[in-house]
Structure formats: structure tokens, C-alpha cells
Structure 1
Amino acid sequence: MKRSRFTEEQIIGILREQEAGVATSEVCRRHGVSSATFYKWKAKFGGMDVSEARRLKALEDENAKLKRMLADAMLDNVALKDLLGKKVVTPAARREAAAHLRSAYEMSERRACRVLGVDRASVRYQAARPGDGVLRDRLKALVQERRRFGYRRLHVLLRREGHAVNRKRVQRLYREEKLSVRRRGGRKRAMGTRRPLETPLGANQRWSLDFVSDQLTDGRRFRTREALSLVVDTSISGQRLARELDKLIARRSRSAVIVSDNGTEMTSRAILERTNRTGVAWHYVAPGRPQQNGFVESFNGRLRDECLNEEVFASTAGARTVIERSRTDYNHVRPSAHGGLTPEAVRLNLAASRLRNVTSCAGRPLPSAQQIGHQTLGLS
């Protein structure tokens, strides 16, 4: 509003001149105001003294200030409602929201930051790090090859290829590209008291054995951490199981103990005769306690998630080829929980360490089965 060049004291003095008998036209000519302005002053300040006029002016100023504050608050409320449904939690989202308020509501940067409750420095920040285009493209290419891998194993693969990137950056790109895979639900397992697993004292001292089943395209079913063997056939008897174990012992040397569930193949006469013949201890888990053989259960879950559920098998021969390729990849390429090394690399490192310092290992347990890559037999 345009500010008057006359103060309240001057206006009341002009009005009193007219009240003293001076003609209105003479008063207006003397002070250089129009008659309309004079009569407007008279309607507003007529009969008031200076203190009352000042009080009226102060009330008018305060009222105008309150109106401006109310208008600003209403505008801020409308702007915030416009942002409802948008997640304004990351710095990038806050910068985008501030830019929207400045363009849509003609707010200043200071006011937009105050409405959003953010620091102006974060809104003004300009990213200085290099672009992620090459890394994003390679990450998406790896996801196409390893569709069931999470960002942790993808990070290991990227580091192997020479990308100097940390895990948090890979996780951020993984989320931004919406590459997360939905966890497949597992079957219900029996609950109860768990028996602690005994820690093997060395490699090749414990083998875990179990069956996994799948089906071909014609509907016929076939049965399936270093994976020592994966046998594929439409049916596997106890005698076949014993023969496969004998072949594996001839190739790898025998284990101190074999752990399995109480399936009919594992409790058959052929297996009992083989146990008596070879002297290899055979440990059966308690009924309804698959967690007592947790290593092979975990391996079966990875095998089904990353291989069986991802492939379509037209024949048993094709299934053998694909599953053997998966076993080789698991042992020699796939990162394990032991620092991203493969099970084969962990086994070789362990063997070299034992050769270098045999005496230091005497009387001391070796790394756990998860660390050295537990030996697993899978029969499919």
C-alpha cells in the first residue's frame, strides 16, 4: 500500500484548521491536497486526538500483518497438501520438492526450505561424483545372467571384473534400478528343539546327502558346499545310491561321516551293507528335524532357486547337462559367504595352509563348515 506523505499528527492538525473556521478550499490549497482526500481524512480521523489516531494506525498495521501471516500459512498448507503421497526423505527428493514449490507457487528458496524443513545447503548441493552409467549397465547385464543373485554377490562379481565400487553403492544402484527379486516361499518345516551341529575338524570329514525333485516338460519327474556330485535320473534306488558313493570315494577319498534324513533309499539294505563294508559312519537326523542337516537343506534351496526354477528341462540328458554346469559354476564361480571366494578357492587355500603349517593346526579346530565350503552330495 502507498505510504501517505502526511503523518497522523499533521492530518489531525489540518482537520482542526477547518474546524477553526478556515474554508475547506483554502485548507486544501494551503496543504496541497484535494478535497476528496480531505473529506476521506475527515471520515477516518474526525473527532480524534493524536493518541487515538496513532492507536488506530497501529491497529491497522497489526491487522495487515496478521492478514499477510494468514495468507502465507494458507499458501504453505496448500503447498504441503500438493506434496502428499510423495516420499520426501532422500536429499534428491527434497531438492525436487523445493524446486516444485518455487516453480508452482512462486516461493523463494528460503521459504520453500522453511516449509519443507530442510537445510538450504542440501537443496543447493551439486553432485560432484562421476556418473554411474557404465556401472548401471554392467549391473543390469549381470542380473540378466544371474537372475536370483542379490546385490551382495553381484558386488563380488563386479569387484572381480575390476570395478572399484563398494557394497553400499551397488546396493543403491540395485534399488534404484528395481532389480530386487521376490523371495520364493519355502515349504513348512517342523519346529522344535534344535540339535547343535558338530563342527568338522577338517575338510572331507563330513558329507551331507539329500534328494531334490523336479519334472521334465512332459510331466515326468526326476530326482535331484562344495557340491561333490549331482546325480540326475527318473528314479534312484538304494543300490544306485551306494554305487554313486563308491565312485565318489574312488575319486575324492572317503568321508568320516555321512549325514542324511530317514528316506527309504538312505535306510535301504544296500546302504546298510555298504556301511558295514566300508566302515564309514552314517548319521541319520531325527525325524521331522531337517534343520539338523542344515547344510544340505541350504544347498538344496540355492539349487532350486538359481537352477531348477530358472530352467525348463525337455529330457533327462538335458537336465544332466544343465545341472552339472550349475554344479561347476557353484564350485568355481559363484561367490560364497567366505569373503566372496568360491568353494574351490577356499578348499585350495585350506589345503595350502595345512601344508605350510601342519603343527600349528594340531589340537585346534579348523574353520567351520560354512567357511571351508561344506561337502554336499545332491541326488536328483
Structure 2
Amino acid sequence: MDRLQGEWKISTRRACAELQIDRSLYVYKSKRGTQAELTQRIREICATRVRYGYRRVHILLQRDGWAVNPKRIYRLYNELGMQLRNKVPRRRVKAKVREDRRPATHTNDIWAMDFVHDQLATGRKIRILTVIDTFSRFSPATDPRFSYRGEDVVQTLERICGQMGYPRSIRVDQGSEFVSRDLDLWAYQKGVVLDFSRPGKPTDNSFIESFNGKFRAECLNTHWFMSLDDARAKMEAWRQDYNPASQHPSVYMTVSNKFSCACVCPTS
């Protein structure tokens, strides 16, 4: 159109007539906004949930109050280059930029959990779900099973949360059990934030990595497990012994400061 008008010096109306297009179509200006806020929110979701497709992103946006059509999410998702590859090559996973994490300030503020693998004396493999409070270093559970699904993780969390209360946030990796819909729905209903670590970055969940190292050195490597019940009993005995000795100095400093402030009173 611009070339035609520039070379032949004709009006827009005549150029549209020659090209047989409606003039209103040529002069139309879109009234749609830039959708910068929606695009930024999609980026934030995909930065922490790197294995989420556009449909699951759409569900999270609806929970946040966005009244958007899934087709629009699909278009923006593709424009941002967030499409999932069926086969992700090892050692070349693209790092995702994350916001800096703040440290926990009280108990039940931030938990961390992961899986540890071991086997019985018969050679049958078991998986142990380990959970720790990153503030107090208290471990509410070391739960062994032959296999774990998302619903099994929810069952264990419901059991320990019934005793200790629900945390504000739980740090997890990108394991299939942690990105499952069962755990996602449970976290949404209970108001718990699932804080996903980046693939290939165990330092994003350093508290549970440190705990798992102690758990393996002091319990798994020092016992034979005759059966699953025997493993539960020995792991629970170790956990009960570990918890009183695991209290971090920051916990004692907090209690000590509160006690000293309560004891100091002005002289009359």
C-alpha cells in the first residue's frame, strides 16, 4: 500500500479501491492494550514452574483473578518462547532467573522436602520423603514407602500438618511427585506456596540437601532394614534423636533475646 501510494502519488481511498480491500481495514488501529502485566505474570509462573504447559499456566492465572481466554494464554505463551520440549537434553537446561529468597523468620514459615533412595536387606528399593523446617531445623517426618505418587505426598503432609500446622511455603525440586496436580491442588486449598528450585541447582534447596546428608550418614548407612516396618521404626528413632540436637543457634538466640527483654525493667 505504501509503495503504491509513493510511486503513483494516489490517495489511500483510491489505493484501497485498486487493491480491492476495505479502507476501514487499512486505517484500523487496535484498541487492545500491551498486556504487559499479563505477560509478566506468565513469565513469573514459567520461571518457577518450568515444566508447566500453557493450560496449567491458565489455571494458575484464573486462581489469581485473571479473566482470560486460554487461547490468549496460548498465543502469549508461544510468543514468549515458553513451549516445552518433549526431550530436554541433559547439561543444557536453560537456567531460569528467580527472585532472591528471604530467610525464614519463624517456625512453620518455610519448609523444605525431598526424596532419599535406599533399599531393604532383600534388595527391594524404597523411597523416603524427608521434610524439615528451615528456621528451627526440626524434621517433622521421614516417611519411607516402596513408591510415591503425588497423592502419597499429600497424605504425608496432611498427617504432619495436622500435628504442627501448615507452613507458609515449601521448597521442592522439579520431581514428578512435586509438580503433580494432587499436590498443586492441596497447596492451593491450604494456602501453601510451592517454591520450586531450578533444574540442576541443588543449592536452591540447600537446607534439605544438608539434612539428607546427615540422614544418610547417621541412619541409612548404619542400619540394615529387614522390612518396611523395620525401616519406619529405625528412621523414626533416628528422627526423634536428631530433633532435640538439631535446634539451630538462631532459635536459642531468639528465645534468649525475648527472655532478656522481658527481664529488664526500668528502675523507679
Q: TM-score, length-normalised on structure 1?
A: 0.39
How has the CA–CA distance of structure 1 residues 218 and 282 changed in structure 2, closer, same or farther, with 3 Å as cutoff? same
> Does residue 264 in structure 1 map to residue 164 in structure 2?
no
Note the residue ranges of structure 2 that are not aligned, 5 or more in a row.
Answer: 1-90, 129-136, 263-268
Q: 2:120 aligns with which of 212, 216, 221?
A: 216
| CA deviations over 1:323-373 (Å, ceiling 9, x no partner) | 11111111124xxxxxxxx41897577457557759xxxxxxxxxxxxxxx
How has the CA–CA distance of structure 1 residues 235 and 356 changed in structure 2, closer, same or farther, with 3 Å as cutoff? farther
* Corresponding position of 1:343: 247
Mark the structure with the bigger radius of gyration: 1
Return the alpha-carbon distance in structure 1 between the equivalents of residues 111 and 184 of structure 2.
Answer: 17
* Corresponding position of 1:255: 167
| CA deviations over 1:45-97 (Å, ceiling 9, x no partner) | xxxxxxxxxxxxxxxxxxxxxxxxxxxxxxxxxxxxxxxxxxxxxxxxxxxxx
Tell whether the 8 Å contact from 2:172 to 2:195 is kept in structure 1 after alignment. Answer: yes
Q: CA deviation at 1:193?
A: 10
Structure with the higher fraction of residues in helix conformation = 1
Note the residue ranges of structure 1 that are not aligned, 5 or more in a row.
Answer: 1-188, 334-341, 359-380
| CA deviations over 1:283-325 (Å, ceiling 9, x no partner) | 0001111111000001101111111011111111111111111
Equivalence map 1:1-380=2 (5 Å): 197-224=101-128, 225-333=137-245, 342-343=246-247, 347=251, 350=254, 353-354=257-258
Aligned length: 162
Return the alpha-carbon distance in structure 1 between the equivalents of residues 141 and 258 of structure 2.
Answer: 25
* Corresponding position of 2:39: none
Q: What amino acid is aligned across from residue 307 of structure 1 in structure 2?
A: C
Q: What amino acid is aligned across from residue 206 of structure 1 in structure 2?
A: I
Return the alpha-carbon distance in structure 1 between the equivalents of residues 101 and 211 of structure 2.
Answer: 16
How has the CA–CA distance of structure 1 residues 323 and 346 changed in structure 2, closer, same or farther, with 3 Å as cutoff? farther
The runs of 4+ residues in structure 1 deviating greater than 2 Å are 192-198, 344-358
Task: State the SS of the aligned residue for 1:227.
Answer: coil
Return the alpha-carbon distance in structure 2 between the equivalents of residues 221 and 351 of structure 1.
Answer: 42
